[in-house]
Structure 1
Amino acid sequence: MTSPQAPRPPHSAAGPGVNEETLHLPTTTAGMAAAPSAGSRTAPSPYPVRPAFRTPAPPTMPPNTGGHPRQPAPPLSAPQQQQPHQPRRTRWEGVGFRPDIQGLRAVAVLLVLLSHAGFGFAAGGYVGVDVFFVLSGFLITSLLVKEVFDTGKISIAGFYARRARRILPAASLVTIATVLGAWLWFPVTRLEAVMQDAFTVIVYIVNYRFVAESTEYLNADQMPSPFQQFWSLAVEEQFYVIWPLLLIGLLLLVKRHPGKLVNIGIAACAAIFAISLVLSVLVTQQAQPVAYYAAHTRIWELAAGAFLALILPTLKKTPKYLAWALGVAGLAAVVASGVLYDDATPFPGYTALLPVVGTMLLIIAGTSTGGNPVSSLLGTGPFQFFGRISYSLYLWHWPILILIPLAVDAEPSLGLNVVLMVAAVAVAQLSYQYVEEPIRNSRPIKASNMWGLVTGVACSLLGIAMVITMTVAFAKVPPEDEAPVDLEAVEEAEDVTEIEKRLQEGLAITSVPADLEPSLTGADADAPVIYEDECHVDAEATEPPGECAYADLESDTTIVLMGDSHAAQWFPAVIRVAKENGWKLLARTKSSCTPADITPYNSILERDYTECDEWRDNVLDEIDEIKPAMVILSGEDSPSLSDSEDQSPEAWADAWTSTLDRITASAGQAVTLTDTPRSPTGDSIPECISVNQDEVQECVLDHAKAMDDSGNREASMAAAQDAGAHVVETVGWFCISGECPVITESTLVYRDSHHISTPYARSLSTLLGDALPAL
């Protein structure tokens, strides 16, 4: 996300004090003012044009009438002598203030806002970030190249001082306000993670934190971070660290020759563009969240803008008729990508070329000396207003969208989001007027690079101080509350009558028990031990994870727990049964991988889950070899399936039949556990409880809505019975009287939106043991 351009300041005789946002005024030959050459174009001047200075010719000597020889003229003084070996810097005319670029910022930020507000026609509005990336590469590179032609060098201190006073004050204010708002209103279950987000925002690595979080299956249903928008700023800051240093290296390589720097810089941009684009395409196909947030898959977009900055003199020669066509095509490409793309579009990858190329065409059109109607449109008042506040608006709109509904206890809706977006515009204008502009233009801060850098450091330290204050001095959850649950101390329900009694009492619970296990803040870490042991494998694995044996390892009776995470959630109960019966238990579970013989679609990888098919085949081969006494299977009733698969209940039944036929041929017993209830909204149940701690009943699940209604549940049960498997119906262990409580006694039933907690699973051990067939 780049910062908006400020209006061009009045002409000043103080050439070295050019405002950064104006960026470029025409450079001149070193050492003197140069008259414009024929055909060249310079920035307009309020002063009358004067003829170029010419060195006066020496005075004409009178004719020699006295018969004396004429004396030669005295030699010219040193300043008058021509210095044939002194290098003359080539002039480089920059962009100056560009209203069209300011207007293009408005288009970018409005696309982002429309998308985040929930307008369906702008579902692809996230491409506005790509527009910002190209503009950032163009403007920053223009500034650096201009500095080289003016001074023969790049001042790293000056560059970072300007960036610090331009970016950090507003960013730090938003960070501090968001930390405070999250502490006040965000679910306590997510508060620690949000504070970690804030810290990574301050050190500009939050994009890679989101890479790690987005690839975590267990984080899929968590409330989005109020710092989500900062990922693009982190990418740009990482670019700002590398790009000036690379240009300095290239400048030294060409022995400080500005013209040669431009040539080698063009080659460098082309190489970076090509390599990063290829990586973007490949990584998008394999792990789309990584490609979306990572710098190495986005840097080609900034390189595209940098390339345009380096060929600026050529762009100025673009014919007027061509500028018209490029402007229309460019704006159409940017808007079309925002309208035609949606969450299902593989992005960035090759699809990001449309908004990137569109932005490049708009820059080229606006650079032409002939003008064009699109650039004129972008220069109008409304576009200039939103372009001017675009940086603050981009920063403020997201935490307002996330935090305010929590503060006023309102359900997010399109109508509410529109109101919040209007409020965000007002807040952004105030931020621009009273934070961005005063600090950026402060005379004391601009007086030296040191004060600019000090300003940046001070802003960062203030942000870090706020994070530490809210997490240490005003911690909401004592550290001892995060101790793992002692499963051996869990009281098991003796029979169905007792579990029904607990469920009925759970429906009457209104406040969170003080001794809740797991605690709300510990729910996200409450996973069966097979996760810690790496026996529950992740998305990339295709082989069983070694032996991964539990309970009685010397037993001659082996049982296997197989399926996705909905099978893994039963591990605390299954291992208890295995220990009591002296069985050897093998854990064979994999995230999002249904045991049914069908190809899923992985929402984290955003592609067909071929690794699941390979893993399932390998586990079935293992079962054929070891011939266990029992295989216990479980999985989601309606996982996301590949588009190539039949989505009907009949196809689902066939997929289960295929798997069970192989298992029943090799194992002594095949058992299927029906799926457990889940939040119909997909929201985390502990998060719901944390924002309704005195109204827990608000989070109770409706039985009909919490269970699968696609027909898959009944189809899989029928298929299992037909295949000779033993079916254990579990719904009565979770729901009663048409409702499913979320707390029973002092036990949290669910650790997220659709997985049961380890203590609740352990409490069902006796019931599960009684329901399993005898061996």
Structure 2
Amino acid sequence: MTSPQPPRPQTRAATGGGVNEATLHLPTTTPGSAAQPPPQAAQSAPVAQPAPVTQRTAPSPYPVRPPFRAPAPPPPAAPDGPMRTTGARPRPAPSPARPPQHWEGTGFRPDIQGLRAVAVALVLLSHVGYSFAAGGYVGVDVFFVVSGFLITSLLVKEVFDTGRISIAGFYARRARRILPAASAVTIATVVGAWLWFPVTRIEAVMQDAFTVIVYAVNYRFVATETEYLNADQMPSPFQQYWSLAVEEQFYVLWPLLLVGLLVLAKRDPRRLVGTALAACAGIFALSLVLSVLTTQISQPTAYYAAHTRIWELAAGAILALMLPTLKRLPKALAWVLGITGLAAIVASGVLYDASTPFPGYTALLPVLGTAAVIAAGSGAKNPASSLLATGPFQYVGKISYSLYLWHWPILILIPLAIDAEVGLGLNTVLLLATIAVAQLSYLYIEEPIRNARLLKSRHGWGLATGALSSVLGIALIVMFTVVYPRSVDDGPVDLEAVEEVENETEMAQRLQLGLGVETVPEGVVPPLAGIADDAPKIYKKGEDGACHLDFATTEPRQGCVFGDTESTTTVVLFGDSHAAQWFPALEAVAEENGWQLITRTKSSCTPVSVRSMLSGEGREYTECQEWRDNVFDELSLMSPDMVVVGSADDPELLGGDDHLQLWSDGWTSTLSRLKAAAGAVVTLTDTPWATGDSAPDCLSLHQNAVQDCLAEEPYEISYEERREAGVAAQQDEGATVIETGEWFCLDGRCPLIVDGIVVYRDTHHMSTPYAKSLTPLLAEALPAL
């Protein structure tokens, strides 16, 4: 169907005496002429030849009325029937009129530009550290809804205008819009991280950068942030790219889906709108359900994954498909939607915080709030849209993309570059600097490339721009990881070569010397560059998986037998990762004494019989309770000669307000069950915890000033009241209690390097070489079997 023809201009004939007949709506008369017949007569009369033009006189003030003629009856409707005839001349029957196929796009929407400003402001204020904006992460949800709305609006308008979707054109436009600025920030961040980031994190940062370039960094964060050993690492300087990865994944799939729906709709644009609405509604519902369920199971997965976030972009797409209806919103409804929607966005940013289970159902507040503001701005003028259209919102919205890209690496890397303490004051200054950098990025990267005539002339040029940006980023990563590495990881430490401590006196001497270390010694073990991989071998996955279990696994892993596997003397190591860290020493003791050693350890799962929260997930750790009960049942059947129990003192307890009593009762319950199953029960007190940065990170940044890392007593015995309550319960139950604090700290001070060994691999686990060095002390403290 062709577009309707524009209205033809009226014929303006020369008039006499300055009178314009067209303006007066009077018929033109000439001497001796009759008035023109009415339209009905003209349709049936023979076509007359035009009369010769003669000079006209002034028109009569009384128009000549034609004689009455009865109108001809309308022909019977027969749109699909045979051709109708009138008299001897055949004529085709008129086809029924169809509404014109036209879709009015959004054009430039100042209110949406203002929404971008609100979104980025919430994110920035949250990352800078302002407590009133602790929920500022909802700004990303605002971006998602806006993106879904704008992208779908553009694609649907293209269908109505051209009857098709140019996939190459769409990707070329996205490449010009997104990739140059994103690649510039990526390259700058890679260089900054190589210069200033701790060597302990360089390899991980380069892996982050690579996944940024291939648009998969959100799923890398799913993997790394659900990994227990990575829980306390420094944040990635590429953290902000996760939302761009989600949007890029949407951009890849959404136009392809619309093309498929267009084929399904037989290339009828209006049928496409209905089909796409149904598809979006289904995606919205399914993804929202997945988001709610996944948030309850694994909050990092729900936060970063595309399949649990796509419903937010689908919400924007639904708005775009309903645009003709939204344009007819009554003024009163537009006022209500605009004001309440904007209030919902701000309220979620202020009321939410790190403890809010998010996204899940709580993300509905900012998402529906954004949808309400967009809907209101599509209709009548309203206060919210007017506010968002003001100058400050327009300016921040204009540079919002660059602001979002640049703010995070500036906040992370600059304090490292100037060796400054991170705080609200410094971050505020860095935020102001980010605005200046973003302005320059907008003027000299975003706008020139997006509007370059050459790049807009052909789709291939736009796609080539994106490809070149990616290639440059990958080349830089390869250069810094292969050609110019910051340091070389020599692989796993030979634990057999570690010099062990002979007795308590030598231990005290080593600690004293460790407190005086000035520089990181040559050949320190484990090497700082590879310390992130330093973990007992029970963490390494074999054919049946790792012996140390992850969060989800509840069945004890079979085959995890060490030491003398044929021995009839059985010792079991039972507990969480703070028990697992003792494996190198306990394995050496078992081999020396001819014991069979079986490990039963699980990440973040205390052996103490309490209900606890799963750290970082915002839910009860039910898998821990199930696993613990399974181990108790197994030990009852196994009847080991000795069970060595270790636990962190930090679990977030559930079930009552008196946590000390809960902890004490939990130890009593656990030990009573173990005593009934085992010949001897031994407990190991918890190791020190960092009060700030981890020792490896600090040491890698101050390799010639180790005392700077010791200046504020970075490690100490923590949770002392809970520790004392646990020890009292252990002694009351007759367990052998091994106080480990004297093996780490001297007079309340805890060194970071002892006899050439880095004591801690992170903020609360000791390194495997240090554990191995304590083997004689542990052997002396264990009861004889």
Structure-1-length-normalised TM-score: 0.89
Change (3 A) 1:320 1:35: farther
**Counterpart Cα distance in 1 of 2:586 and 2:7:** 86
**From 732, 736, 740, the counterpart of 2:742:** 732
Count the aligned residue pairs: 710
Alignment map for 1:590-629 (pairs within 5 Å):
590-629=602-641
Equivalent position SS for 1:553: coil
Tell me how far apart the structure 2 counterparts of residues 723 and 704 of structure 1 sit (CA, whole Å): 34
- 1:12 is matched with which residue? none
2:219 equivalent in structure 1: 208
Deviation at 1:33, TM superposition (A): 3.8
Query: Which residue in 2 is equivalent to 1:77?
Result: none
Partners in 2 of 1:231 and 1:436 — Cα distance? 20
**1:403-552 correspondence to structure 2 within 5 Å:** 403-478=413-488, 481-533=489-541, 534-552=546-564
Q: State the 1:541 CA deviation.
A: 1.3
Contact 1:703 1:735 in 2 (8 A): no
Are the structure 2 counterparts of residues 261 and 411 from structure 1 closer, same or farther at C-alpha, using a change threshold of 3 Å?
Answer: same
Q: CA deviation at 1:547?
A: 3.5
Distance (whole Å) between structure 2 residues aligned to residue 132 and residue 560 of structure 1:
52
Taking the TM superposition and a 5 Å limit, the aligned residue runs for 1:320-335 are 320-335=331-346
In structure 2, what is the equivalent of residue 374 of structure 1? 384
Candidates 264, 267, 270, aligned match of 1:253: 264
* Aligned-pair CA distance for 1:457: 0.8
Q: Give distance in 2, aligned partners of 1:578 and 1:703.
A: 35
Aligned twin of 1:69: none
Query: Partner of 1:184 in structure 2?
Result: 195
| Partner residue, 1:748 | 758
Residues 704 and 721 (structure 1), Cα distance of their counterparts in 2 relative to 1, 3 Å cut: farther
Conserved? CA contact 1:124–1:343, under 8 Å: yes
Structure 1 pair 176/82, CA: closer, same or farther in 2 (3 Å)? farther
C-alpha separation in 1, matches of 2:460 and 2:648: 59
Structure 1 residues 764, 424: closer, same or farther in 2, change over 3 A? Answer: same
CA distance in structure 2 between the partners assigned to 1:692 and 1:759 by the alignment: 22
Distance (Å, rounded) in 1 between the aligned partners of 2:96 and 2:183: 51
Q: 2:716 corresponds to which residue?
A: 706
Residues 1:395 and 2:405 are matched in the alignment: yes
Partner Cα separation in structure 2 for residue 622 and residue 700 of structure 1: 44
Match of 1:76 in 2: none
Q: 1:640 aligns with which of 652, 655, 660?
A: 652
My pick for the range that moved more, 602-611 or 277-286, is: 602-611
Instruction: Describe the superposition over 1:63-110 as per-residue Cα deviations: whole angstroms up to 9, x where unpaired.
Output: 9xxxxxxxxxxxxxxxxx999699985111111110000001000000
Report the counterpart of residue 683 of structure 2 in structure 1.
672
Shift of 1:138: 0.3
**What secondary structure is seen at the aligned counterpart in 2 of 1:594?**
coil
Matched with 2:71 is: none
Deviates more, 1:548-557 or 1:296-305: 548-557
Q: Contact 2:716 / 2:748 at 8 angstroms: preserved in 1? A: no
Q: Distance in 2 between matches of 1:34 and 1:176?
A: 55
Q: Deviations over 1:198-247 (max 9, x none)?
A: 11101100000000001100000000000000000000000001100000
Equivalent residue letter for 1:523? I
Matched to 1:477, the amino acid is: S
2:568 to 549, 556, 559: 556
- Map of 2:123 onto structure 1: 112
Q: Deviations over 1:692-716 (max 9, x none)?
A: 1111122238779611244011111
- State the distance in 2 between where 1:338 and 1:421 align: 18
Instruction: State the Cα distance separating 1:62 from its structure 2 match.
Output: 7.0
Q: Equivalent residue of 1:597, what SS?
A: coil
Find the aligned partners of 1:35 and 1:712 in 2 and give their Cα distance.
Answer: 88
Aligned match for 1:103, one of 114, 132, 139: 114
Q: Could you report, residue by residue, the CA deviation over 1:308-335 in whole angstroms, capped at 9, with x for unpaired residues?
A: 1011000000001110111001001100
Structure 2: how far apart are the matches of 1:35 and 1:730? 95
Q: Which amino acid aligns with 2:653?
A: L
Which residue of 2 is the match for residue 137 of structure 1? 148
The answer for the alignment partner of 1:348 in structure 2 is 359
User: Cα distance, 1:624 vs. partner?
Assistant: 1.4
Asked if 1:60 corresponds to 2:72, the answer is: no
Report how far residue 737 of structure 1 moved: 3.2
Structure 2 residue 586 is matched with structure 1 residue 574: yes
1:693 to 2:666 alignment: no
Partner of 1:164 in structure 2? 175
Q: Distance in 2 between matches of 1:472 and 1:277?
A: 43
* Offset at residue 32 of structure 1 (A): 4.1
- 1:717 partnered with 2:727: yes
How far does residue 650 in structure 1 lie from its aligned partner after superposition?
2.6
Structure 1 match to 2:72: none
Shift of residue 491, structure 1, vs aligned partner = 1.1
What is the aligned partner in structure 1 of residue 311 from structure 2? Answer: 300
Partner Cα separation in structure 2 for residue 296 and residue 188 of structure 1: 34
- Answer yes or no: is the 8 Å Cα contact 1:684–1:753 preserved in 2: yes
Distance in 2, matches of 1:406 and 1:241, equals 36
CA distance in 1, matches of 2:650, 2:431: 36
Aligned AA (1:30): S
Alpha-carbon separation, structure 2, partners of 1:664 and 1:704: 37
Cα drift, residue 663 of structure 1: 1.1
**Kindly tell me: are residues 87 and 458 of structure 1, through their superposed partners in 2, closer, same or farther at Cα, counting changes over 3 Å?**
farther
RMSD, aligned CA: 2.2
Partner of residue 79, structure 2:
none
Amino acid at match of 2:354: D
| Counterpart position of 1:30 | 3
- Helix, strand or coil for the counterpart of 2:599? strand
**Residue aligning to 2:66:** none
Distance 1:454 1:352 in 2: 37
- Partners of 2:610 and 2:260 lie apart in 1 by 54
Distance in 2 separating the partners of 1:83 and 1:495? 107
Alignment of 1:193 with 2:193, yes or no, is: no
Secondary structure of residue in 2 paired with 1:711: helix
Matches of 1:34 and 1:630, distance apart in 2: 96
What is residue 39 of structure 1 aligned with on the other side? Answer: none
**Compared CA separation, residues 645 and 35, structure 1 to 2 (3 A):** farther
Deviation at 1:684, TM superposition (A): 2.1
Instruction: Give the gaps of 5 or more residues in structure 1.
Output: 1-27, 37-49, 64-80
| Aligned-partner residue type, residue 568 of structure 1 | A
In the other structure, the counterpart of 1:285 is 296
Q: Give distance in 1, aligned partners of 2:99 and 2:152.
A: 22
Q: Give the 3 Å change call, closer, same or farther, for CA 617–35 of structure 1 in structure 2.
A: farther
Contact 2:180 2:446 in 1 (8 A): yes
Q: 8 Å contact 1:544–1:588 — kept in the other structure?
A: yes
1:739 Cα deviation after fit? 0.9
Partners of 1:606 and 1:217 in 2: CA distance: 15
Contact kept? 2:524, 2:756, Cα under 8 Å: yes
1:363 and 2:374 aligned: yes
DSSP-derived class of the 1:740 partner: coil
Identical-pair percentage: 64
Please tell me the residue identity of whatever aligns with 2:444. Answer: Y
In structure 2, how many angstroms separate the alpha carbons of the residues matched to 1:702 and 1:736? 15
State the AA in 2 paired with 1:695. Answer: A
Q: Cα deviations across residues 2-36 of structure 1 (Å, max 9, x unaligned)?
A: xxxxxxxxxxxxxxxxxxxxxxxxxx953744699
SS in structure 2 of the partner of residue 739 of structure 1: coil
Q: Deviations over 1:372-429 (max 9, x none)?
A: 1110110000000000000000000000000011011111101111111111111001
For the structure 1 residues 155 and 508, does the alpha-carbon distance in structure 2 shift closer, same or farther, using more than 3 Å as the test?
Answer: same
Residue aligned with 1:638, SS? coil
Write the distance in 2 (CA, Å) between the matches of 1:472 and 1:86.
Answer: 69
Counterparts of 2:224 and 2:514 in 1: how far apart (Å)? 33
- Aligned in 2, Cα 1:688/1:429: closer, same or farther, shift over 3 Å? same
CA contact 1:638–1:710 (8 Å) conserved in 2: no
Amino acid at match of 1:592: S
